[in-house]
Amino acid sequence: MRRPLSHPDQLALRFGKESEIERIIEARVAIRAEADAIRWRFRLILIETGMLTLVVLIAGWLIGQPLGGIFRSALLVCAGCLASGLILVGLSGGVSLALSRLRRWKRDRDNLRRWAGRS
């Protein structure tokens, strides 16, 4: 009489579904990586915006400009950098989405043609 290798209270593992589990894990990792990438893009935009604003503030102070003009210039640079960075991230995301949909459409079209050719 053979003894079971696992404890009776232990959840039975089904190794036949490895590919399904792998697919689920890969999908979760891809979603997490995409979220991290977006977060890092926004961090980079904020850091660059802050650095350029600080450069404008310091440069204006060093050349002896009036304080109101320095802050107005720094505010304009800050708004411009932030807006252009957000537009750039938005456009890159939109192009990425469009390319993935185009790839999916081509794949589906090719699969449909292969399926129709078999009949």
pLDDT for 76: 97
Nearest residue to 56 (alpha-carbon basis) of 47, 45, 65: 65
Total structural domains within the chain: 1
As a whole number of angstroms, the distance between CA 103 and CA 97 comes to 10
In a domain, 7, yes or no: no
In a domain, 88, yes or no: yes
pTM (two decimals): 0.64
Domain of residue 66, residue span? 18-113
In a domain, 71, yes or no: yes
pLDDT in tens, 4-51: 566 777 776 666 667 788 888 888 998 898 889 889 999 999 999 999
pLDDT > 60? residue 90: yes
pLDDT for 2: 59
In a domain, 10, yes or no: no
As a whole number of angstroms, the distance between CA 77 and CA 67 comes to 15
Pull the structure tokens for residue 30: 């891809």
In a domain, 5, yes or no: no
